[in-house]
Amino acid sequence: MAQIISGKEVSQRVRERIKLEASELFEKTGKKPGLAVIIVGEDPASQVYVRNKAKGCEEVGFHSEVYRLPEDTKMEELLALIEKLNNDCNIHGILCQLPLPKHLDETEVILAINPNKDVDAFHPVNTGKIMIGNYSFLPCTPAGVMELIASTGVDVAGKECVVVGRSNIVGKPQAMLLLQKNGTVTICHSKTKNLKETTKRADILVVAVGRANFITGDMIKDGAIVVDVGINRNEEGKLVGDVHFESAEKVASYITPVPGGVGPMTITMLLQNTLTAAKEQIK
């Protein structure tokens, strides 16, 4: 039976360290790390995320600002706000909550954020730095996954690592981070043949496809670490991951639950990125 990797516990430990470092920064410089979050429209899930981000900032002693813009905000207005925040020395991190309303160009918005304040690590400059291993910020979810794996005490070096999913936000950067820790990495996707054969080789399996219960216990190697990034609602309306937890738990050595696994780590790693940005900019 697998040991549960508690995202809540790991997240709390990381937040305590962030809070301490933010306090030390304030003592030395009189400045707090500052995060600005922009949200356009009334998407309910985005509203919850934004509230949680503001709450996280308060918990670790950061300065935070939330800009709530109406659904019909014009591109020029949004870009003008980003430019204002780029030039604000009290704001070290800028995040524009995605998805945006359809009339706004997400790519243009990402490009408008100063790469030094891009705490989501979506700007091409930052994604390029991740590719060559010379980065300041990491995308929050893959960074959180790496913290969860590290919490098991298992060394990634030399392990067979399989990432199921190839999104720009999770799958691709996740593969690069595992590679940088000297894992041997395979990325699977919708065109992969014999998926089960590949996932069954994995010592470390990270699943991020957005399909409920997609990976079952018979697709997992005995003793594997299984990290489930997915969050879906099944037919009964219950939150479930991309991994069928009950069957996977019997095979894996460590497994993340849904909810309570990767989820709590994402905002925590955003706070870590903001702290890193503040240290670099204040320096």
Catalytic residue IDs: 53, 97, 120
The structure tokens listed for 207 are 């699943």
The structure tokens listed for 57 are 């900032």
DSSP letter string over 69-91?
E-TT--HHHHHHHHHHHHT-TT-
Q: Is 74 exposed, middle or buried (0-12, 13-18, 19+ CB in 10 A)?
A: exposed
Of residues 144, 141, 155, 120, the one with CA closest to residue 11: 144
Cα 52 to Cα 47: distance, rounded to the nearest angstrom:
9
CA 84, 86, 91, 95 torsion-angle sign:
positive
Residue 93 forms beta bridges with which residues? 35
Residue type, position 186, single letter: T
CB 96: neighbour CB atoms within 10 A? 25
Per DSSP (E only), the strands in 98-193 are 160-164, 184-188
Contact 242, 208 (CB under 8 A): yes
Residue 38 forms beta bridges with which residues? 67, 96
